[in-house]
């Protein structure tokens, strides 16, 4: 969700800056774009298979999620000369680090999780279990590098709620920068 906000606001900003300066908006030239699709495929499979009730083992899900981030990092590295791509890469690395040292999933603490699903549903979950498709429910004291975990929430007045990490913020800022501040838009 945070990524989509960064992309949307970045595109609107880029279009606005181009219009204000009186020249056409130019979509950034991204090389190896197929890596983005390949990178999202493992995440898609974990989420889609999980929703269709086909069990995806924890180790396969964790490997798939980390492979996804690795492929997205390779794409970002190959396009690192674009303004904002280095910010996006920082976010990917932060997310990879916290996921790797916490068993391959993004940690989320019980308090944050409860704000998303409510106390009734939270009571049925156990610490250490998967939360959603990409997270693992861990208490703050047992989370390595907890400050990198999914610990932030969107404002309550937004219709869609999701937890996100500081890495996600960097990814969204990088995406924003890439679309908003292309050389033709500055």
pLDDT (tens, 9 = 90+) of the chain, 186 residues, equals 789 899 999 999 999 999 898 889 988 999 999 999 999 998 888 777 666 556 678 888 899 999 999 999 999 999 999 999 999 999 999 999 999 999 999 999 999 999 999 989 988 889 998 888 789 999 999 999 999 999 999 888 888 889 999 999 999 999 999 999 876 555
Residue 175 lies in a domain: yes
Q: Which two tokens stand for residue 90?
A: 């920082």
Residue 67 lies in a domain: yes
What pLDDT score was predicted for residue 183?
Answer: 65
Task: Kindly compute the dihedral angle of the four CA atoms of residues 70, 92, 80, 182, in this order, to the nearest 10 degrees.
Answer: 130
Residue 185 lies in a domain: no
Residue 141 lies in a domain: yes
| Length, in residues, of the chain | 186
Question: Phi and psi (nearest 5°) for 23?
Answer: -135, 160
Give the chain's radius of gyration (CA, Å): 18
Which structural domain range is residue 17 located in?
A: 2-180
Residue 33 lies in a domain: yes
Q: How many domains does the chain have?
A: 1
**Alpha carbons 150 and 136: distance in angstroms, whole number:** 10
**Alpha carbons 88 and 38: distance in angstroms, whole number:** 18
Q: Which two tokens stand for residue 138?
A: 């861990």
Residue 19 lies in a domain: yes
What pLDDT score was predicted for residue 69?
Answer: 96
pTM of the full structure: 0.90
- Number of neighbours of residue 143 by Cβ within 10 angstroms: 20
Residue 186 lies in a domain: no
Q: Which two tokens stand for residue 80?
A: 């690192």
Provide the pairing of β-strand 135-137 with 152-153.
unpaired
What pLDDT score was predicted for residue 27?
Answer: 86
43 in helix, strand or coil?
A: helix
What pLDDT score was predicted for residue 42?
Answer: 87
**Alpha carbons 42 and 55: distance in angstroms, whole number:** 15
């Amino acid at each position: 969700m945070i990524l989509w906000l960064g992309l949307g606001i970045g595109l609107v900003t880029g279009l606005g800056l181009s219009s204000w300066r009186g020249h056409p908006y130019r979509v950034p030239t991204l090389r190896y774009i197929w890596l983005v699709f390949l990178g999202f495929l493992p995440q898609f499979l974990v989420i889609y298979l999980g929703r269709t009730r086909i069990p995806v083992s924890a180790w396969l899900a964790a490997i798939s999620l980390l492979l996804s981030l690795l492929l997205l990092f390779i794409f970002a590295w190959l396009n690192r000369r674009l303004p904002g791509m280095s910010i996006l890469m920082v976010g990917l690395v932060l997310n990879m680090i916290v996921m790797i040292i916490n068993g391959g999933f993004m940690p989320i603490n019980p308090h944050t999780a409860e704000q998303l699903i409510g106390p009734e549903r939270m009571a049925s979950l156990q610490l250490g279990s998967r939360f959603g498709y990409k997270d693992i429910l861990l208490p703050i004291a047992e989370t390595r590098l907890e400050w990198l975990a999914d610990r932030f929430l969107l404002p309550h007045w937004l219709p869609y709620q999701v937890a996100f990490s500081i890495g996600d913020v960097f990814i969204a800022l990088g995406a924003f920068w890439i679309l908003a501040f292309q050389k033709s838009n500055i």
